[in-house]
Amino acid sequence: MITILAWAMIIVFMILVMKKILQPFTALVIVPLVFTIFGAFAGLYKEQVAKLNEIPVAEVSLWDQIKIVGDWTVQGLQKTSTTAIMLLFAILFFSIMLNAGLFDPLTKFIIKLAKGDPLKVLVGTAVVAAMVSLNGDGTTTTLIVCTAFLPIYKKLNLKIMNLGVLLILMNTIMNLLPWGGPTARVISVLEGVGEQEILVALIPGMIVAIIYMLGVAVYLGFKERKRVGVQKLTDADLDALMAVASPEEEALKRPNLIWVNAILTIGTIVMLVMGTFPSVFLFLLATTLALLINYKKISEQKARIQDNAGDALQVVILVIGAGIFMGLFTNSGMSDALANSLITFMPESFGRFWGLITAIVSAPGTFFLSNDAFYYGVLPVFAEAGFKYGYTALEIGIASLLGQAFHLLSPLVAFIYLLLNLTGLDMGEWQKESAKWAIGIFVIFIAMAAITGAVPLYK
């Protein structure tokens, strides 16, 4: 009975999210709550309640089974609360750095350096896209990169398709940082997986993938140089390309504090990777210092928090919702039941390759499903099955992230419509061109995970 209930819950959850009948946060809370309470009415939790309260099973009442649902919810929240707070301050910190203009000098330098050379423009596009993607928000990356580079692409008659491909694939790689969407979901779903260890495991593959995409940019740049040649831009043309979008944005810039902000950012990232302090402490302190250093007035600090809180809140409430989902899904016994039923239908010989299987399934899984549906609905099942075959939570979590090479090409990703609208690209053509290079990222992710031992291909 509990196996049927578990499968029904996952299917209903994924349908509601995929069909956009419910917003992901409400689905994460309402769906498991309804199904778990139904299980209480069916008397499925008598043994858990009896063991917890140290009473005979026969004495467990319906109210006892309903009441324990609240305890399971709190337990789930306790497991994800630290991650939620870390993400809140990580997103706020990088948003404030963008407001203060930390990355502006590099962007301007690349535009000046590139001038009229298509090769330099495309490499510059890739570098800026990777740099701006540090805040983990695709919308911000799209707006900044398109604002900076679309005029120069049009001026030089370069293929806008190259801009769309380089932007989305660099963002794809950087989106694996712990404060990015998919990795944050993995951390919230899998118990015992921390920010530092998952970052250390992912970094080798990310570095090689970035080098690969820079190589792609060089290749495409040479093709464009051959097609349109190297053109000359006047100083007036360059000044127009580097102009700030609005006076309000200009007022937020802090060029005189560029080195202070750079040291703060680099120091935070280095200590995060080294595990010097807990990540939540690092980003909490970094955000506080960023506000105090760059915006002295209380009204300015309040405005920065208010303007940037929207992006942070959308991620944070999902992590909180995931905690509720996993607390109910795991403690009720549905997670174990689902995993056992999956293993029953899986040939025993496949178990040795569960890491590779998870990685391969994650590619179409995160393309056809939203990140919420895949990581909150599918990953727990694969993780429970993986445990039976000797894989750790960290190994399964990393394997499930490798298919992210294709996720941002999915029509389920909201900000790609902003990208397509700004660039005027056709979705089908853009997906086809991007997927061609995304295959290389996917292969690199799997190869580096295997080489470093982050995800053994077989056991």
Residue 33 binned pLDDT confidence (cut-offs 50, 70, 90): very high
Give the residue-averaged pLDDT of 404-422: 80
Of the pLDDT bands very low, low, confident and very high (cuts 50, 70, 90), residue 7 is confident
Q: Is 274 left (phi over 0), alpha (psi -120 to 50) or beta?
A: alpha
Report how far residue 165's alpha carbon sits from residue 18's, in angstroms, rounded to the nearest whole number.
25
Q: Is residue 194's pLDDT more than 70? A: yes
- Quote the pLDDT of residue 213: 96
One-letter amino acid at 91 equals I
- Find the angle CA(21)-CA(4)-CA(387) to the nearest 5 degrees: 100
Q: Which tens digit of pLDDT belongs to each residue from 440-458?
A: 999 999 999 999 999 988 8
Please name the residue that has the structure tokens 């792609």.
Answer: 216
pLDDT surpassing 90 at residue 285: yes
pLDDT higher than 80, residue 75: yes
What pLDDT is recorded for position 412?
66
pLDDT in tens, 365-392: 888 776 777 888 788 888 888 888 889 9
Q: 344-383 in b/e burial notation, b at 16+ Cβ within 10 A?
A: eeeeeeebbbbbbbbbbbbbebbbebbbbbbbbbbbbbbb
Question: What's the whole-number average pLDDT of the chain?
Answer: 84
Confidence band of 404 (pLDDT split at 50, 70, 90): very high
Q: What is the pLDDT, as a whole number, of residue 135?
A: 64
Per the CB < 8 A criterion, the answer to whether 377 and 13 are in contact is yes
- Check pLDDT > 70 for residue 245: no
Cα 224 to Cα 38, 163, 340, distances in angstroms: 61, 12, 54
Cα 79 from chain centre: 19
pLDDT grade for 170, boundaries at 50, 70 and 90? very high
Mean pLDDT of 4-13: 86
Question: Residue ranges of the alpha helices (H) in 42-180?
Answer: 46-53, 62-99, 104-114, 118-132, 138-156, 160-174
Residue predicted with more confidence, 130 or 233: 130
pLDDT single digits (tens) 295-333 = 989 998 999 998 888 877 877 887 788 788 878 887 888
* 273 has a pLDDT exceeding 70: no
Q: If you ran DSSP here, which 8-state letter would residue 349 be given?
A: G
pLDDT computed for residue 27 by the predictor = 85
Confidence of residue 265 (pLDDT cuts 50, 70, 90): confident
Distance CA 202, CA 221 (A): 28
